[in-house]
Amino acid sequence: MEEESRQQLSQQKKKLEQEASRAKQELEEAMSRLKAAESDKGSRDQQIHNLKLELLHQEELIAKLQKEKKTTQEQIQRTAEEAQAQEDRVNHLSKVKKLHYSIITFS
């Protein structure tokens, strides 16, 4: 009976050792996956940071281009107004010239 008890204890010990070994292996695998996930998270965090910086830069460029667009539109408007004023002046001078010519020829 004592021998039988030892064998049972020995089998139980082996079984527990195997379970402990599997648990240790599972823990090591879980730790490895955790480490990989943390590394991946760090990489993604860096990518997010870089993308935020790029987005900020793009927003600044958009604001600058919008300001330039507004300035250009204002310049175009002023140029069109100046051109119209010059055209009006030329038309007026042409009328004055015709009037003077008609006065000179009828005198």
- The string of pLDDT tens digits covering residues 31-45 is 999 999 999 999 999
Q: Is residue 12 part of a domain?
A: yes
Q: How far apart are CA 34 and CA 17, in angstroms?
A: 25
Range of the domain at 22: 1-76
How does 82-96 read in b/e, with b if 16+ C-beta sit within 10 Å?
Answer: eeeeeeeeeeeeeee
pLDDT of residue 102: 85
Q: Is residue 81 part of a domain?
A: no
Q: Is residue 44 part of a domain?
A: yes
Note the pTM of the prediction, 2 decimals.
Answer: 0.59
Q: How far apart are CA 25 and CA 19, in angstroms?
A: 10
Q: Is residue 2 part of a domain?
A: yes
pLDDT of residue 101: 84
**What parts of the chain have a pLDDT lower than 70?**
107
